[in-house]
Chains A and B, each alone.
Chain A
């Protein structure tokens, strides 16, 4: 009754009693809701701050979705060893990561497709690209009864161009002597969202087939002539799991953790290589690294090279005005390049080969 009495409307009829109650309720509710939405959570946050050292350095990064779990794990593990450094990473997509990095709203970026020269030119303080980890793309499929499929280069291209429509097509059977292939129609699954995975995948297929290059081309998001699109690696994975006869391209970790069968791919030397973290690491070790560390093994020539392995990069500015932030960031990156690599295989990523780590450390040293 507090507020109503203050306003003294004594000439009203007795029905006002209920109205005054409603006003009191209104004010009470406003106060309660403000308390609940603002003060209580801030109290929570402040209480939990008691555990955080006052000098904690916050570093935030955004970018590619593919390496996000690994980067986040690195952030948490490093924070255990050095509570003063808190590194945050959120996956927003390579493209958005590059945009955010260019606009200066994050401390570091990440991209599966590194940065093009035009993009680098837009960043005032200069860019240092550091390969942080690597992954491989696999052809995952759902065909019970065919645990080890071999796909020749023609078969790979034919399936994704829609020329090969059933599993028992001679083009597939040629590489799989002695395996009983069913007459099931092939359903293709691709990435509906723009992604570095699609970029690497189409880059390889365009390099080995002019047809594919003309019809589909290379990009983070392309139009395939056949198939169904799933959102993210997890979308394609669930498409493959749902229907028998589906084949799609996903990152190794997703296929492994979901128990999907993975096809062995024919490389330039004509050998069929099964997807494996060791094969991938060996392939990447053979790659010639240019000055800016941006390179893709588009069609590797070695006998044991897996054709679809690629790096993913951390993007750092050449200059950081804040000295404390610079020190923390450098600690994070150099720790990740060395100690951090041991978390990679467990999560389905390829650990960086030693020569690459050396070059990366050298590049890191140029960051001021």
Chain B
């Protein structure tokens, strides 16, 4: 039988109709269909707004539901900036803790305790993150913001005034929310590096960090990138905590100390009360979010393919 080589180690091992394989195929098809359905529903709901505004929706900065004028540029910038900042904070911290937990810095008992404490963060509801942000992070950000404005007010990202409810507050809390996911999956990726590779590196005389940076991290890179993409997706789609902390302003600003808005936060705030064209505009915003996620993912895939070229053949 001339069948296309679709890969997988069991590929050569097909002996006929395999019920389990069909089941797995159905599950995969189901996943693709589910997304298609969801996106389909969003597109249908967004049609009126898309027809009315077209590309202007993306370039306009005015969001005035009562005047039927909708433009989401400030929210796109807010989404991009807040997610980027969140990953910027969470990535080194998460990877650091993951390395800390997989290399033998700590005795195994303590390691487990640290691991469960970090994973406990995942269980905290987003509303509680919002409340913690209000009680703890906002006062701190205000102090730092006032200091930054006094000394660096020339920079665009610092801006003329510092607010507590601002982009940086939301980014800090977002970083904390995505940290457990990033850490847990990176930890899995790092600990699944075969022991032989590790031993080989040490046997050749590498120091601990030479082994980590030169051998273990590159091998675990696909897993770490997957963790980052998963966390980035969560950061871009987070609604509740961001809506409580970011100040929800529809004014275009690049300053991290000023109130801003994200697409997901916009949805969370306005969906329940929206009617008519506003609902359609909100769905258009949701569609944009999906497209942005797609763009980020494609970049991630490119990065992944680049790192994989270096470590091909290790598995």
Contact = CB atoms under 8 A, between A and B. Distances in A.
Task: Indicate if A touches B (C-beta under 8 A).
Answer: yes
Interface string B261-284: 100000011111111001000000
Nearest to B275: A95
A223 B64 contact: yes
Contact of A229 (B138, B249, B273, B275): B249
A206 to B, nearest CB: 10
A119 B275 CA distance: 10
B274 A230 contact: no
Contact of B259 (A92, A193, A228): A228
B244 A235 contact: yes
Interface residues of A, number: 29
B279 to A, nearest CB: 9
Contact of B272 (A194, A218, A222): A194
A192 B248 contact: yes
A319 B108 CA distance: 67
A61 to B, nearest CB: 15
B272 A231 contact: no
Nearest to A116: B275
Contact of B165 (A92, A96, A195, A239): A239
B163 interface: yes
Contacts of B139: 242
Contacts of B270: 193-194, 221
Contact of A96 (B66, B248, B250, B273): B273
B77 interface: no
B275 A98 contact: yes
A194 B269 contact: yes
B211 interface: no
A66 B268 CA distance: 17
A258 interface: no
Which of B163, B261, B272 has the most chain A CB within a 10 Å cutoff? Answer: B272
Nearest to B272: A93
A238 B169 CA distance: 15
A118 to B, nearest CB: 9
B221 to A, nearest CB: 28
A204 interface: no
B247 interface: yes
Interface string B243-261: 1100111100000000101
Given A193-B270, A194-B65, 5 more contacts: A192-B269, A193-B268, A219-B65, A223-B250, A242-B134
28 contacts: A92-B272, A93-B272, A94-B273, A95-B273, A98-B275, A119-B275, A192-B243, A192-B261, A194-B65, A194-B273, A195-B273, A218-B66, A220-B65, A221-B278, A222-B64, A223-B62, A223-B250, A227-B249, A228-B165, A229-B248, A229-B259, A230-B165, A230-B248, A231-B244, A231-B268, A231-B269, A235-B244, A242-B138
Which 10 pairs between the two chains have the least Cβ-Cβ distance? A194-B273, A93-B272, A192-B248, A219-B66, A229-B248, A95-B273, A193-B269, A96-B272, A217-B66, A93-B273
